[in-house]
Amino acid sequence: MTKSTRPSQRDASLSATPWRRHLLVATSCAFVGLVVHEALPFLPASVATLGLGVGLIGASFMLAWAADAGEAVFSGGLVLAAVALVGVLPEFVIEVHFAFIQVPDLVTANLTGATRLLLTGALALPLLVAFLADRRGQKASPIRLAGARRLELGILLVVAVFAAQVVVRGSLSVFDGVLLLGLYVLYARRIQGTTDEDPASVGVAAGLLALPEKYRRAAVAGLILGAGAVVITIANPFTQSLLASGALVGIDPYLMIQSVVPLATEAPEIVVVAVLVANRRPAQGLALFLASSVSQWTLGLGSLPLAYLAGGGGLALPIGPREQLELAFTGSATLFVVAALASMHPQRADAFLAAGAFAAQLIWPTPFVRLAATFVLLVFALNIIVARRRDVRSLLGAVFRKGGRPGPGAAGESTADT
């Protein structure tokens, strides 16, 4: 009897090893970032950027895993709001820092870059699913979003329209910030009623949830606090080192923060989504991208004027012509993604258009290309919204109706993710 149980125990131990190893690697990377931070005065900018970047990526993975597990470990609207904030903490620290030190020219760089990356990833998932199916010699199954995801789409629709008046006025007031933060509170209150879906926990997050119950909460909370402390410590020095490294080779600071930093800070979400897609759960991966985008548009953008005021600025954060164009492009991209997903069935044609616009502005980061991409996405978005107006009304119903009940376009729809 004893002999027969030993192999199974050994197998269980081995099966638990990968997630522990991944967590150890991420923790080691975060520790490297702290060591480099202490040695900053003695290191060249390029070496400091690399070391701090490694630390930021490690801490970001830890935060993403802890936030994923936290959705299942903790309960209550305020806790869920805190967990969502943890997921965007690296970007949040960078954006708020620039607003606080009165550098309005750079406050929107990371926000617009990260949001466009998340939204493009969400809409491009059908292409990835089709590619993986072709590699397996199978036919790709269509992705169908859960009905509960109308909430995220409805919030994104509201903020995309709201961003238009910010672009026209050329400023982001404290009142705007309060409204955006209030919209996030509304989102947190609505989303706590989404009981028809299990948390999309895979990998390390699933390993944390498999711990004995008496250790589970402490492990998740400790991971959040430890990784959060690392992010707060090294996020801003990493950005400053990155700017210094870019200046040495003549790269525009705005483009560095907009294009390079999001690749580091959004890496955890991208990896988790890739794992979900590989495990044939693309709809939950898409939902993760949407939830992160909501946090960026509401928590991220809403905090900027408040941080600007706290740092000694006025009641309104000025938005220059370049930042107006960046926000307009991000707003039109958001509107297009919402319109494309309003039917809850993402299509490959929409994915190609979104990916093409994102790639074009990344390869040719000129005002003309961004303006052209903004116009194209806006025209297509308005055309789709008119054609799917019943679906769009159901998105707004998910946000503003009492209890968050879906509107007329949701009748008879299944709420299970595929």
How do residues 57-92 score in pLDDT, each as one tens digit?
A: 888 888 878 877 777 777 655 555 565 566 677 788
User: What is the number of structural domains in the chain?
Assistant: 1
Q: Where in the sequence is the domain holding 343, given as residue range(s)?
A: 2-406
Nearest to 266 by CA among 64, 86, 80, 82: 64
Would you state the pLDDT for residue 403?
A: 53
User: What does pTM read for this prediction?
Assistant: 0.80
Examine residue 255 and state whether it is found in any structural domain, yes or no: yes
Rounded distance between C-alpha atoms, residue 241 and residue 108, angstroms: 19
CATH number at residue 267: 1.20.1420.30
Examine residue 415 and state whether it is found in any structural domain, yes or no: no
Examine residue 184 and state whether it is found in any structural domain, yes or no: yes
How do residues 227-236 score in pLDDT, each as one tens digit?
A: 888 888 888 8
Examine residue 148 and state whether it is found in any structural domain, yes or no: yes
How do residues 32-51 score in pLDDT, each as one tens digit?
A: 999 999 999 888 888 998 99
Tokens of 147: 């009905």
Examine residue 416 and state whether it is found in any structural domain, yes or no: no
Choose the most confident range, by mean pLDDT, from 6-10, 177-181, 182-186. Answer: 177-181
Examine residue 417 and state whether it is found in any structural domain, yes or no: no
The answer to whether the beta carbons of residues 87 and 63 sit under 8 Å apart is yes
